[in-house]
Structure 1
Amino acid sequence: MSDNITELNIIPRKQRSKRLLALDAARGLAVVGMFVQHFALNQINSFVSGNTMILFILCSGISYSIMSQSMKEHGIEPTTFRSRVLARSVFIDFIGYLILMLNGPFGMVLSAYAMLFILSLALVHYSARTLIILSGVLFLVSPPLMLIGLSLFADTALLGDIAGGPLSALAWAPVFIAGMAIGKMDLYKFKTAIKFVVTGLTILIPFKLIAIFLLPGLRQKFENWLVQFPAYENPPMVDQYAIWPLNTQPIQWQMLFLDSPQSGAAFELLIGLGGTLILLGLLLLIENKLKVVLRPFAAAGRVALTLYVAQFVLVWGTTLIGVDITSIDIGAIPFGDIMVVLFTLLIGWLLAKLPNGPLESAIRRFEGLFYKK
């Protein structure tokens, strides 16, 4: 391939004002993967478990930077951006607590997602290079800190959302900030897409090999060492009515050596990040040649929040009428997972026919109450 070709932009300049189809498609793939994970998981598609949320959080970080830069380029004051982010965070957090009230069977991350939006306000002016360094540091420090938070803040609402375990903002921060760094790059260049694929392979392959061949042994040795301490060999009965922090559980340090879905461990996040970077790079390349392939997933991506919430409402509604849909092993049915994918894409396509998805429209109206358009 010649140097001239590698310098070509993926998307013509005259189209750059439009939504990035590959980003919408990536978000759509994430929410479709969530439906498969929750309703039709099997041995063949088990790779979606946990990785869909990593993809969703990465796309959110990318969109966060793009929104910030777009408003800056259009001369919109920084206070307006902050107002939009704060309003959006309050709305998403409220939706998250409503979902928690339904007491569904799935982990819910909207509250952590809202906290990420607020906490990242301090980072929007940093360069991509600085954000990459910060993300790398957080891949090291976030896992132990979120485990401390899981012990100290497990039963608190706001602090738990910020730093209380694997589904907290702190746990997802390395991926979100990596997304923010990506959002500051030129996503329309051929070289950028290739770099994502190469970087993803560079991250994915070594950490996956370590997770397969070395991590189980390291975990066993660490657990054997850990049980030497009385608090872990014979865990004391915790009095939930004692004053804080006497009512907290011992810190689960062994979780640092997991690579299981939604564990918040560094290995899980790095393996997932490597895979999502490869996927994002491929989607950017596909957008230039085969847009038609991406459009069904991009439609779902434009209404991703509505679809995300819909799965909780679906389980709640069917349970009310006496049908436990999660007990139906759809994944064991021949092509059951494909049917779930097609169903999700169909609903996403129908919702995308509206000017905006129901929740997406509600967020915009709510945001509009707090700044002058």
Structure 2
Amino acid sequence: MPASATSVFQVLFATTEQVIGPLPGYHHETYAVRLGAAPGLFGQSAGWVKLRDPRPGLLWFDRRCFGSEDDLLATLAGRVSHIPTVGHIDSLTVQGFIEGCTLAEVAPPGEEVPAAFVGQIVRLFRELLAVEPYDPALLALHAPLPAERGSAEFARDLVRFTFTDVVEHSLPHFDALFHSLGIHPGSAPATASSLETRLRGMTPRPFGLLHGDVHRANLIVDEHDALWAIDWELALIGDPLYDLATHLHLMRYPARQEGEVIARWADVAEESRPGAAEGIEADLPRYLAFKRIQSVYTDVIRQAYSTERGETSTAEAAKVINAALDRAADSLLLPTVAGAGEIEHELLRWLATPRQRGAANTGGSPSAS
């Protein structure tokens, strides 16, 4: 239980049955807590809230641009529907906890998403792009200020963050594992340069507000089959097409449904932010190639790091790494992809081998510079 919440727990909660957790999540240790009958707290007398503490020493694989997820959610209240509410218990800021199950539990990755939920996902993107990204209230929370330099420059910054702030920073700790998986660590700069070249000719698009992490585990289905978007920590202001590419990469729609989602996204994007879907035919595949390559590097590091901390089994980590390698094989020109069994063997060998320490624990650059 987060230490910062101890006194609040003692005052408000009568039994440990009112606390659930820790809940699944990478960036925070999170608990769901049912409020007691104390009036005036969080604007309600009862209900579930989330209490969270950041996990120390984590690697961050995407840029954090908004300094406070809670402040962002509070700013978006009334503009984007079905997002967590934010309130206060004494000096503690908390989010409302959405009771229900994840979309991943209803329709696991690779399976078709029920049509009613697809409609709600499309609505989410429409509402996001209807938010004025240069609203002073948003800009006050965003660092650095998002100069609208164009889609190509935005994409270049994504590549440089991945390969400089994450991969290059972490390689001293993980280079032997990359070698064993057939990815020479020294190829990372060349891969980054190739991606930058490929992204250079992208069509300029007006920037918008992006969630940055819309996938099945971050979409909660409540008892009324309403879909709620949670985990806004990777939100940013930038090229809207990147939000779609990230969504498609993580959702793993069946091919037919993916085509439908792309078409519906393009319609609402143009409706909410004219020009947001310009060049989609040429540029969406470029972003998807970047996401596949990014996943290989970051999934290897993240899964190895998680097994090292005893949070993930080597068998489960090997499956994730195998899937990332398989999806990026063409983009990385890999002649063969190691199977899950072989990857697990290499993970076990890496765990048992002395190696340089320290780089894995600093977290790269946890916030945008």
What is the TM-score of this pair, normalised by structure 2?
Answer: 0.27
Higher helix content, 1 or 2: 1
Instruction: Give the strand-richer structure, 1 or 2.
Output: 2
TM-score by length of 1: 0.27
Higher relative contact order (CA 8 A, sep 6+): 1
